[in-house]
Amino acid sequence: MSNDPLLQPFQLKHLTLRNRIIMTAHEPAYPEEGMPKARYRAYHVERAKGGVAMTMTAGSAAVSKDSPPVFNNLLVYKDEVVPWMKDMTDAVHEQGAAIMIQLTHLGRRTRWDKAFWLPVVSPSHRREASHKAFPKKMEDWDIERIITDYADAAERMKAGGMDGIELQAYGHLMDQFWSPLTNELDAPYGGSLENRLRFTFDVLKEIRKRVGPDFIVGVRYTGDEMLEGGLTKADGLDISRRLKESGLVDFLNVVRGHIDTDAGLTDVIPIQGMANSPHLDFAGEVRAATNFPTFHAAKIPDVATARHAIASGKLDMVGMTRAHMTDPHIVRKIIERREDDIRPCVGANYCLDRIYQGGAAYCIHNAATGRELDMPHTIARAETRKKIVIVGAGPAGLEAARVAGERGHEVVVFEVAPDPGGQIRLTAQSERRKEMISIIDWRMAQCEKYGVTFHFNTWADAGTVQAENPDVVIIATGGMPHTEVLTKGNELVVSSWDIIAGDVKPGSNVLVFDDAGDHAGLQAAEILADAGGRVEIMTPDRSFAPEVMAMNLTPYMRALQNKEVTFTVTYRLEAVEKDGNQLIAYVGSDYGGVSKQRTFDQIVVNHGTVPLDEIYFDLKPASTNLGEVSYEQLIAGVPQSVIRNPDGGFQLFRIGDAVSARNTHAAIYDALRLMKDI
Ligand SMILES: Cc1cc2nc3c(=O)[nH]c(=O)nc-3n(C[C@H](O)[C@H](O)[C@H](O)COP(=O)(O)O)c2cc1C
Ligand code: SF4
């Protein structure tokens, strides 16, 4: 047996966990009608197959009707959930993993204008900044019915075959009782710490009455709110001991911080550019103080740090949650001594930010995650070996090369730049976003394994491609910044890429006109502000940088707000004129009736890209499909069979931004879903 600390089993009561790596609760927003159906099941089964010891399903599964989900969560207040749970728990158990579920009442962390339009409840009227509902201060009958709801839900989960449950107590109703900042009730549920914990222990006692002493029950809680007037670390250690000593819980799953603001949430769940494992030592202190099974997750993305967390005795079980969204087969690869093959989580947080925007969680660079029913995590070998020529080594081209290589094809890639990466290489130039380069480095290492041939510094034209005598040609040439958006003076502006690449010296009084709303605009603004310039970020939209999304905005705001940066929404840059060494910006508004003139010394436009598609159109007449993609076949997941020109020599496809400006995930998904069937 291996002596790797991560691969040692852990005994949690009667349950043997096969190793030390878990996925903590994370609702990927895949439920259908609030139920964990085929898609949900497939997501967790893939991770169980990949070797994880335990998967904590859901995340914030709703126990009550007045806790409507803020993103598409499971509705465990419904009896019909039980058979769906049973299907999922059976399927995960078959793969040797344990499976539990996190239950919650969100309290004030939701909205009243959802589901049944019931008032939001909390132990005070205090509003949460993120969700903005003014809660009803709870009465005795609210407390009684919610205690019963928790116990009912726990009973359903036991009937559904779960190995255990976890109650959520950070930012939700349970710890809204705990925190002096959100509990304004009188005794017996308000006042002293003992009173503020009473609701939790009442819930736990009622749950125990229903599920018995053997069923595993844990609590995931904040051990230190890190907020003026909130729960302190000393409170957290006290609560940890009380939870243990109650004899009602079997494990502690500790986090640190508060999640009532986007910034707070980002400190609890750090993203790229922020320190790895920031709360690990704290979790270790909880374990040392309690000598009780302790779980923890917060940006422990790599195996070495996870191993350290276990070997040093800080944790009993280490959460690698987003890491498993990126690569479901981490444990299998550790066992097979293939750690280098693990697809790294780059902390882009596309997954989590998307669910808060109402979407499903997708990983920025694993397009199979959340699409397990249609997209493979392991690529099958093709029956016929083909010659595949790919032009462009950005994320789309490299994903196409990786998948084609894994299918066993002969693959040749042409790239005009000296290095691979395209827009990602540019992005990764910023210190805070340098983790992005792993998207490229991992693919290059995989391509090397599959014997893909690369020609860098090579401008490929139609002739270069045809000389290779390909069966299939993939155009993944990306795009160039699109700055031609003004009625006058397009030649006077520079692009966000010019600033990020360092091709243009930052000005001192700069307008960043950003109507793409993606990272490039803010990234350029950050460079300009860091260089000492005064920067105004202007957008015609109602809010700025919508594509960046909530948690990704946090580090930008921290970098920008303490410098000379202002934000202007609902105004549109229409034209630019030169005036000596200054630029006059003509500013209007989509709402009409506004015309202003402003003076700057530099104007930056961020407006996405225009496709670099010349080579595609040059090759089109020589192809069999004349570039056509059958969307029916693409969606159905079958090989492309369009023939429009029987005399053509090869199939031709283009993917990613070479088609239209989108994002990294879209580029990678384009490549995966096309190439898996070639
Ligand atoms: C898509 C997504 C949804 C999440 N939802 C929940 C949730 O409902 N409840 C919870 O306690 N944590 C939730 N989390 C937080 C994770 O459990 C974990 O604490 C966090 O991702 C940090 O760990 P990691 O760096 O290993 O990913 C979620 C995370 C993700 C990525
Ligand atoms: S989107 Fe980013 S943070 Fe989320 S799992 Fe993928 S790589 Fe990790």
Ligand 2 centroid – CA 326 distance (Å): 6
Q: In terms of Cα–Cα distance, which of 159, 4, 27, 21 is closest to 97?
A: 21
pLDDT given for residue 200 in this prediction: 99
Pairwise CA distance, residues 47 & 23, whole Å: 9
Protein residues with CB under 6 Å of any ligand 2 atom: 322, 325-326, 345-351, 363-365
Closest ligand to residue 357's CA? 1
Neighbours of 131 (CB within 10 A): 16
Residue 109 CB less than 6 A away from ligand 1 = no
Query: What is the pTM (predicted TM-score) of this model?
Result: 0.98
The CB-side HSE value for 160 (13 A sphere, CA atoms) comes to 28
pLDDT value, residue 144: 98
CA–CA separation, 371 and 348 (whole Å) = 19
Kindly state if the Cβ of 673 falls inside 6 Å of ligand 1. no
Nearest residue to 519 (alpha-carbon basis) of 383, 403, 315, 350: 350
Q: What is the pLDDT of residue 43?
A: 98
436 to each of 203, 214, 295, 449, how far by Cα in Å? 43, 45, 28, 21
CA of 300 to the centre of ligand 1 (A): 12
Cis peptide before 188 (omega within 30 of 0): yes
8 A C-beta contact, residue 543 and residue 569? yes
Phi, psi torsion values for 482, nearest 5 degrees: -105, 105
What local confidence, expressed as pLDDT, does residue 168 receive?
A: 98
Q: How many CA atoms lie within 13 A of 111 on its CB side?
A: 9
Report the separation in Å between the CA atom of 87 and the middle of ligand 1, taken as the mean of its atom positions: 23
Atom 5 of ligand 2, nearest CA residue: 322
Note the Cα 277 to chain centre separation in Å. Answer: 17
Query: What's the pLDDT tens digit per position in 177-209?
Result: 999 999 999 999 999 999 999 999 999 999 999
Q: Cβ(22) to ligand 1 under 6 A?
A: no
Cβ(307) – ligand 1 distance below 6 Å: no
Residues in the chain with pLDDT values less than 70: 1
Instruction: State whether the beta carbon of 62 lies less than 6 angstroms from ligand 1.
Output: no
Give the pair of three-digit tokens for residue 418: 């000296």
Proximal ligand: closest to the CA of 346: 2
Q: What angle do CA 74, 76, 80 make, to 5 degrees?
A: 100
CA distance 100 to 507: 55
Q: What is the pLDDT of residue 31?
A: 98
The reply to whether ligand 1 has any atom less than 6 angstroms from the CB of 321 is yes
Task: Identify which ligand lies nearest to the alpha carbon of 272.
Answer: 2
Q: Is 269 in the pocket of ligand 1 (CB under 6 A)?
A: yes
Distances (CA, A) of 283 to 240, 245, 289, 312, 315: 11, 18, 10, 12, 7
CA of 6 to the centre of ligand 1 (A): 21
Determine the atom of ligand 2 nearest the C-alpha atom of 665: 1
DSSP tally for the chain: helices H, then strands E: 23, 27
Rounded to an integer, what distance in angstroms lies between the CA atom of residue 377 and that of residue 42?
A: 12
Distance (Å) of CA 170 to CA 47, 59, 84, 175, 514: 26, 12, 27, 6, 36
Residue 356 tokens read as 């808060």
Q: Which residues of 487-518 are buried (b: 16+ CB within 10 A; e: fewer)?
A: eebeebbbbbbbbbeeeeebbebbbbbbbbbb
- DSSP annotation of 220 reads E
Give 301 Cα–ligand 2 centroid separation in angstroms.
Answer: 10
